[in-house]
Structure 1
Amino acid sequence: MENTNYPDGWVKEILETEFVKPSTRALLLDRLDTNTKSTPDFFDDESFSILQCVCMRLIPQDRNEPIDLAGLLDEQLSKSPGNGWRYDELPEDKVLFKKGIKGMEKLAQMAFAKTFCDLDDAETDQILLTIQAGNAKGYEWDQIPSNLFFEELLASLVELYYSHPLAKEEIGDISFADAKGWKNIGLDQIEKPNPNNR
């Protein structure tokens, strides 16, 4: 979505103002400064590569420096057991994501005799749609409902994407400015915070 109200880089500019609490500023600046993760902490190398391919298909990004969704999910899972809730039918997130990604790879090999990352776009979509519809077969999918896995994976990736400052800038989301009230809230009014008042 094109943002016509603010220039490129406005998120970083707002982060340096009195409108953002120090803890929020530190967190979002850290996300801006984080490089793409090359070595996973939670997943094994093969699963991490598959996750990267899945992320590129589910949330394609037309930007010079894509948000590292696979790296963010890997980091999240390495630091905590999950997001605090799950369906009764599903194991905890750490188990769920490892099994689901292994199941994706096996589906690709059974259906196309290729690794998941070697599939073309149509083949990738076929695997993902099979999982989304709850029709995936195999050892992993006998243990976890594939449709619920797909829902959890997509929801996690969307949450990670839109918690990143670059995605906030893309859609004009300024909800992170959590320190002080805004005065200019009428139509066509733009607040101009003072970056020197931190």
Structure 2
Amino acid sequence: MAYPLGTVRTLLDTDHVTPATRQALQERLDKQPDWQGLTLRFFTPDEAELLKQLTARLLPQPADREQIDVINPVDHRLAHNESDGWRYDVLPADPDAWRMGLTAFQEAAQAQFGKPFTQLDSPQQDQLIGQMQQGTATGASLTALQSKHFFEDMLAELVSLYVSHPLAQEEMGYVGMADKPRWDRIGLNELEEREK
């Protein structure tokens, strides 16, 4: 059950949300993408466009809503050499892994279709995405295991960034950010009075 457009912004202006939660969610709302004025610190413009198209295939967003930016947070994290503290032993550190992984998408696209990933049609992109996920992409310089693990890491990060955004939570019907009052009605499709 999705909430009506604007529910999160309305909720943030109430006493149902703690100040710390309000600040965190407001920062996410304020950081909407400006694809024309994208200031990259890690990704090249070509890498950012590739990642934008990958994200559109993996996490299609409703056309009638603001688009949620998941590229800038990854770019920021990699530019500052931040990580979650672990990695697969077959992959290098995150910045190098992302460069290798995105390069592998381009290599596979060139080898199989004779053009960059960003110039492929949707079925071709989906085919390559599936191959990278399975570790079977012809022409990619990654081993099968590297390909699988990079894809897993990339997808996990993109999904995590997406679902942590208040607009995605609104679309999913989640208003758990209203963390100040208690939640008594927790059954399936039960709504608190403040949710109606």
Q: TM-score, normalised by structure 2?
A: 0.85
Cα distance in 1 for partners of 2:80, 2:13 equals 28
The 5 Å alignment of 1:42-61 reads 42-61=42-61
- Percent of aligned pairs sharing the same letter: 38
Q: Does structure 1 retain, via aligned residues, the 8 Å contact 2:108–2:140?
A: no
Corresponding residue for 1:18? 15
Shift of 1:165: 0.7
Q: Which has the higher contact order (CA 8 A, sep 6+)?
A: 1
For residues 35-74 of structure 1, the aligned pairs below 5 Å read: 35-37=32-34, 38-64=38-64, 65-74=66-75
| Larger CA deviation: 174-183 vs 65-74 | 174-183
The Cα RMSD (Å) is 2.3
By how many angstroms is 1:82 displaced? 1.7
**What per-residue deviation string (whole Å, max 9, x for no partner) do you get for residues 92-124 of structure 1?**
222211110011111111111111110001110
Which stretches in structure 1 are left out of the alignment for 5+ residues? 194-198
SS in 1 for 2:27: helix
Superposition TM-score, scaled by structure 1 size: 0.84
Find the aligned partners of 1:8 and 1:32 in 2 and give their Cα distance.
Answer: 13
> Alpha-carbon deviation of 1:146?
0.4
Deviates more, 1:74-83 or 1:159-168: 74-83
Report the number of matched residues. Answer: 190
Which amino acid letter does the alignment assign opposite residue 32 of structure 1? L
Letter in 2 for 1:49: E
Q: Is the 8 A contact 1:31 1:164 kept in 2?
A: yes
Whole-Å separation in 2 of the counterparts to 1:139 and 1:149: 12
Unpaired stretches in structure 2, ≥5 consecutive residues: none
Report how far residue 14 of structure 1 moved: 1.8
